[in-house]
Amino acid sequence: MTYREQTRRIQIGGIAVGGGAPVSVQSMTSSDTRDAEATLSQIRALAVAGCEIVRVAVPDEAAAAALPAIVEGAGLPVVADIHFDHRLALSAIGAGCAGLRLNPGNIGGEDRIAAVAEAALERGVPIRVGVNAGSLEPDLLDAQGHATAEAMVRSAERHLALLEARGLSAIKVSLKASDAARTLAANRLWAEHHDLPLHLGLTEAGTRLLGAVRSAAVLGVLLAEGIGDTIRVSLAADPVEEVRVGLELLRTLGLREGGLRVVACPTCGRCAERFDVAGIAERVEARLSALEVSRPLTVAVMGCAVNGPGEAREADLGVAGGDRMAVLFRRGGKVGRLGLDEVEDRLVEEVEALLADV
């Protein structure tokens, strides 16, 4: 999982993207950007969850007017998402946004794209050429018959040429569809022929559970192939959930170290009515989610005598539950027995103690 396609490096504020930099996690606010305080509140929650780059929608002049305050208070690089009106992109550059996301299929003619490129070059603002299968140029759809992976790549190449003709090189690309096959094909095709950093995502992925599964299937395959420099897991849910899924995906693939990992057995008839594995694991994970965990830390909640003790010993902290009590393990050693009503609080206390023991 350590192999990465060699792409050029760009900077989104203080975050390096591409060129061997760690794969970064992005999200997008769902608040009304015109409400700067509500948007900043959401950005702060995203930052606590581990978000590294945040995108905000800029649908009109009122939203653009709120950008200076948002950029100043965000604490994260802010990328302005622009559609239809190139003047909003110019306003975002002037407001100090760390990047732009443009959809070349709807931003307008070459003169408008040129104006944005020149302003971005002058201020050192990178641009993401964001191609979506649902908004390709009509001539490409006519030529291909529908929104194929090849048409998506051609759209990106066409608008890349316009930006590069104005001297802009700080560019990244995204090629997204709502289905796995086209998203995989388009990104593989792009990576085969170009060295620009790729932003990965599956557009319109779905609700929290289904969207996470679909995104993980597509992004996981591409990342495992060494393709992709920054990701967003798009969910119809709280944006914080996007960040949590994205970080866990990177940790699972070995592309991100650190962080808390709660593992739990799937439960079966041996423990279902005697030890609430799922409930304890979920509550412990929720209580610990706000902690800053810079090193790998695994907590295991196991429910029976078959695999429980062995799995619990392998974790930094673990419990193996039984009929009337649970055994607590710390870094491979048995440290005591707990009443079932003590397990949750004791695990949280033990994690806090381990984190304090630097």
Q: How far apart are CA 67 and CA 315, in angstroms?
A: 45
Q: What is the CATH number of the domain that holds 330?
A: 3.30.413.10
Report, as ranges of residue numbers, the positions in the chain whose pLDDT lies below 50: 272
**Exposure on the CB side of residue 186, measured as CA atoms within 13 A:** 33
In a shared domain, residues 272 and 241 = no
Query: Residue 5: inside a domain, yes or no?
Result: no
Query: Residue 350: inside a domain, yes or no?
Result: yes
In a shared domain, residues 244 and 109 = yes
* pLDDT for 272: 46
Query: Residue 322: inside a domain, yes or no?
Result: yes
In a shared domain, residues 306 and 163 = no
Of 217, 237, 252, the residue at which a domain comes to its end is 252
In a shared domain, residues 81 and 117 = yes
pLDDT by residue (tens digit) across 169-191?
A: 999 999 999 899 999 999 999 99
Query: Residue 3: inside a domain, yes or no?
Result: no
In a shared domain, residues 302 and 166 = no
Amino acid code (one letter) for 330: R
Q: How far is CA 168 from CA 153, 161, 321, in A?
A: 19, 10, 60
In a shared domain, residues 301 and 164 = no
* pLDDT for 198: 97
Query: Residue 87: inside a domain, yes or no?
Result: yes
Domain count within the chain:
2
Residue 276 is part of which domain span? Answer: 259-356
DSSP state of 13: T
In a shared domain, residues 205 and 303 = no
> How many CB atoms neighbour CB 301 within 10 A?
32
Among residues 66, 74, 111, the alpha carbon closest in space to that of 92 is found at 66
- Tokens 């040429």, residue located: 161
Query: Residue 2: inside a domain, yes or no?
Result: no
In a shared domain, residues 121 and 246 = yes
Question: Is-contact 203 132, C-beta < 8 A?
Answer: yes
Question: Is-contact 7 196, C-beta < 8 A?
Answer: yes
In a shared domain, residues 197 and 89 = yes
Question: Is-contact 163 129, C-beta < 8 A?
Answer: yes
pLDDT by residue (tens digit) across 77-94?
A: 999 999 889 999 999 999
* Beta-strand pair 333-339/99-102: unpaired
- b/e burial code for range 99-113 (CB count within 10 A of at least 16 → b): bbbbbbbebeeeebb
Query: Residue 263: inside a domain, yes or no?
Result: yes
For the chain, how are helix, strand and coil distributed in percent, rounded to 5? 45, 20, 35
* pLDDT for 285: 83
In a shared domain, residues 315 and 211 = no
Of 234, 252, 270, the residue at which a domain comes to its end is 252
Torsion angle (degrees, nearest 10) of CA 314, 318, 321, 324 = 140
In a shared domain, residues 308 and 159 = no
In a shared domain, residues 235 and 288 = no
Of 252, 277, 298, the residue at which a domain comes to its end is 252
Q: How far apart are CA 301 and CA 251, in angstroms?
A: 19
Query: Residue 102: inside a domain, yes or no?
Result: yes
Q: What is the CATH number of the domain that holds 162?
A: 3.20.20.20
